Amino acid sequence: MALQFFNTLTRRKEEFYTIHPGEVRMYCCGPTVYDFAHIGNFRAYVFTDVLRRYLQYKGYKVTQILNVTDVDDRTIGGSQKQGIPLGEYTEKYKQAFFEDLSSLNIKPADVYPEATAHITDMEALVKSLMDKGHAYENKGSIYFRISSFPEYGKLSHMDISGLKAGARVAADEYEKEEVADFALWKGWDEKDGDVFWETEVGKGRPGWHIECSAMSMKYLGKHFDIHTGGVDLIFPHHENEIAQSQAATGEKFVNFWLHNEHLMVEGKRMGKRFGNYYTLRDLLNKGYNPIAIRYLLLATHHRQQLNFTFDGLEASKNALQRLYDFVDNLKIVKEGKNNPQVDEIISKTTQGFEDALDDDLNVSEALGVVFNLVKDINRLVEDKNISKADAEKVLNLMNGFDSVLGILKREELVLDEQISKLIERRSKAREDKDFKLADQIRKDLEAKGIILEDTPQGIKWKRKM
């Protein structure tokens, strides 16, 4: 099967193709750094991470851009509230964001462009839209004239003529020719304080949408392969990006628009506005494993709403533990004859894994395939019907899969001396048939987060998740 993705633009699965042979250029809408990101936000980044990793698995050279929005109403408001410069305010959340990405084992993007570092690029884009008659100025602000772009609404499939001023329309809307027009450049306002740029398009700051057009085209070209984001961005953000970009360049902007559904909490979308969110930090502080959180976020198909529960997180942790045990058990396979069945299983599994992911990145199904492998191989291990070389082949396979899933990497476990001594003492106790003492030590170690298992291959220990 050929790789295909569901494209929001056509609302269909389409066979994937690239503009430049063997190379994928993708832009992912990133965070606004006004606060700690919540795990709903991270669903989007885990999704793009798996997407990017799978493209690399398939042999594509991937250039991934993930922007950081560091100037908008919320960041300005937040910095003023704390009485610190905007840059200082956003820096804190930016750093936190990168730490969180790393906790979730999300691979770094190639560039993390910040809006405030690309004002001149946006200025040039706005100017070009003015020159072409797609934008107009009013009271210091510059707006995009939607009526000049007939394709407007194509991505979200919305009929803009039906848009009416409603509860969520801001007070300055009367300054626009039509309500649906949107700000490219916002003229300076007292509320902005010292946040402004003196540019040829006036004194002020960029509108939200323009940064993504300017920065994506700067790093990826006028026309690139993939653009991702949460479904909430389809309208108006991505619709506006298309309008700005294509009106300015006259070229198609993006071939594939991929959107992830929301993370829900008790049936409602997780969001800052709703107060029903958990930051990654909240969960880590409660002792949850970040990779279990990653597992939870990636195990449901990205176009499916995912209801977050602590039971679900617990189940993810246990599922992950099964994979860890599987890998650990393979590592200690010693003797045994080569079994030709192993090659068959590997080939069947590889096929299944790739077929699943080729089909619009169906991670759930791919995981099902991996667990079938676990069962098949464990059976051979149980029957001692597998060689060390076979086991290594399977481990290689798992590593290949994990280059996509990113869930197997664990911190190197180092036992401190005290614990090693306890383990030794317990071994002695067992030799002496002093099981009471042995069991007590095992219990004590478990309280310290070390789980001991007595196996025919000797004592195994692992960190409690």
Partner RNA sequence: GGCGGCUUAGCCAAGUGGGAAGGCAGAGGUCUGCAAAACCUCCAUUCUCCGGUUCAAAUCCGGAAGCCGCCUCCA
Q: Within positions 263 to 282, which residues make up the interface with RNA, using CB under 7 A?
A: 263-264, 267-273
**CA pair distance 103, 343, nearest whole angstrom:** 35
**CA pair distance 397, 350, nearest whole angstrom:** 8
Give which of 190, 187, 311, 254 is closest to 28, Cα–Cα: 254
Stretch that binds RNA, among 17-25, 108-116, 179-187, 338-346 (CB under 7 A): 179-187
**CA pair distance 262, 304, nearest whole angstrom:** 8
Whichever of 19 and 92 has its CB closer to RNA, that residue is 92
Q: Within positions 334 to 363, which residues make up the interface with RNA, using CB under 7 A?
A: 356, 359, 362
Whichever of 18 and 362 has its CB closer to RNA, that residue is 362
Whichever of 233 and 242 has its CB closer to RNA, that residue is 233
Whichever of 36 and 224 has its CB closer to RNA, that residue is 36
Whichever of 168 and 409 has its CB closer to RNA, that residue is 168
Smallest separation (angstroms) from RNA to the CB of 412: 20
Site for RNA contains 136 (CB under 7 A): no
Site for RNA contains 59 (CB under 7 A): no
**CA pair distance 322, 172, nearest whole angstrom:** 56
Smallest separation (angstroms) from RNA to the CB of 198: 20
Smallest separation (angstroms) from RNA to the CB of 291: 14
Q: What would the x/- binding string for RNA be over residues 199 to 238, using CB under 7 A?
A: --------xx--------------------xxxxxxxxx-
**CA pair distance 126, 144, nearest whole angstrom:** 9
**Alpha carbon of 279 to those of 271, 272, 316: distances in Å?**
10, 10, 18
Q: Which two tokens stand for residue 118?
A: 């690309």
Whichever of 420 and 440 has its CB closer to RNA, that residue is 440
Site for RNA contains 189 (CB under 7 A): no
Q: Within positions 403 to 422, which residues make up the interface with RNA, using CB under 7 A?
A: none
List, in sequence order, every residue forming a beta bridge with 80; answer none if it has no partner.
Answer: none
> Would you say 364 and 301 are in contact if contact means Cβ atoms under 8 Å apart?
yes
Whichever of 112 and 326 has its CB closer to RNA, that residue is 326
Site for RNA contains 137 (CB under 7 A): no
Give which of 80, 81, 110, 113 is closest to 94, Cα–Cα: 113
Q: Within positions 426 to 465, which residues make up the interface with RNA, using CB under 7 A?
A: 430, 435, 438-439, 442, 451-455
> Would you say 260 and 303 are in contact if contact means Cβ atoms under 8 Å apart?
yes
Smallest separation (angstroms) from RNA to the CB of 348: 12
**CA pair distance 185, 195, nearest whole angstrom:** 13
Site for RNA contains 78 (CB under 7 A): no
Bridge pairing between strands 263-265 and 268-269: antiparallel
Pick from 36, 182, 253, 401 the residue near RNA by CB under 7 A.
182
Site for RNA contains 81 (CB under 7 A): no
Phi-psi region of 41 (alpha: psi -120 to 50; beta: other; left: phi over 0): alpha
- Total residues contacting RNA by CB under 7 A comes to 91
Pick from 89, 93, 256, 326 the residue near RNA by CB under 7 A.
326
Site for RNA contains 100 (CB under 7 A): no
Three-state DSSP class for residue 333: coil
Give which of 184, 188, 187 is closest to 248, Cα–Cα: 184
Smallest separation (angstroms) from RNA to the CB of 193: 17
Smallest separation (angstroms) from RNA to the CB of 155: 11
**Alpha carbon of 212 to those of 9, 229, 245, 279: distances in Å?**
18, 12, 9, 25
Count of Cβ atoms closer than 10 Å to residue 416 Cβ = 8
